[in-house]
Amino acid sequence: MSLSVQIMDEMKTAMRAKDTVALEALRAIKSEILLAQTASGSKEEITEDDEVKLLQRLVKTRKESARIFTEQNRLDLAEPELAQIAVIEKFLPAQLGEAEVETVIAKIIADTGASGIASMGKVMGLAAAQLGGTAEGKTISTIVKKLLT
């Protein structure tokens, strides 16, 4: 079942349950999917990787918003953002833990023979391709730096 169909089903459920927070998050996802499809200029569907990146971007912006609201002591605004993150994350693939990511990156470094920070770009590219949407770029970057220094 495609992400768009899943979102529509969840939207119907949220409307019936009068869950405004979930409905707002689902509408944001639907909007981003439509924007991505029209931005590509083609009639073809966006790929699953693009959908994962789109969802990760939505989570990232909401985390940033929640952090800012919390710093400004606006918990009334931070709580809906955090609730929306939970709704959006249901559609993301399971995220790997730091230990699992470190294992994968260590294997990539061993396979490529990379050493020193100069080969960080090469390792990052391979790691991002292999880990796909299962780890955040920031986490990958931190672990690569740690292992190469």
What's the rounded Cα separation, in Å, for the pair 92 and 64?
18
Domains of the chain: residue spans and CATH: 3-89 (1.10.1510.10), 98-148 (1.10.10.410)
Residue 122 pLDDT greater than 90, yes or no: no
pLDDT in tens, 38-82: 876 666 678 888 888 899 999 999 999 999 999 999 999 999 999
pTM: 0.76
Percent of the chain with pLDDT over 90: 42
- pLDDT recorded at residue 71: 96
Cα separations in angstroms, 40 against 44, 83, 89:
9, 30, 24
Average pLDDT, the chain: 88
Burial (0-12, 13-18, 19+ Cβ within 10 Å), 110: exposed
Which pair of tokens denotes residue 76?
């009334």
What's the rounded Cα separation, in Å, for the pair 144 and 121?
9
Residue 139 pLDDT greater than 90, yes or no: no
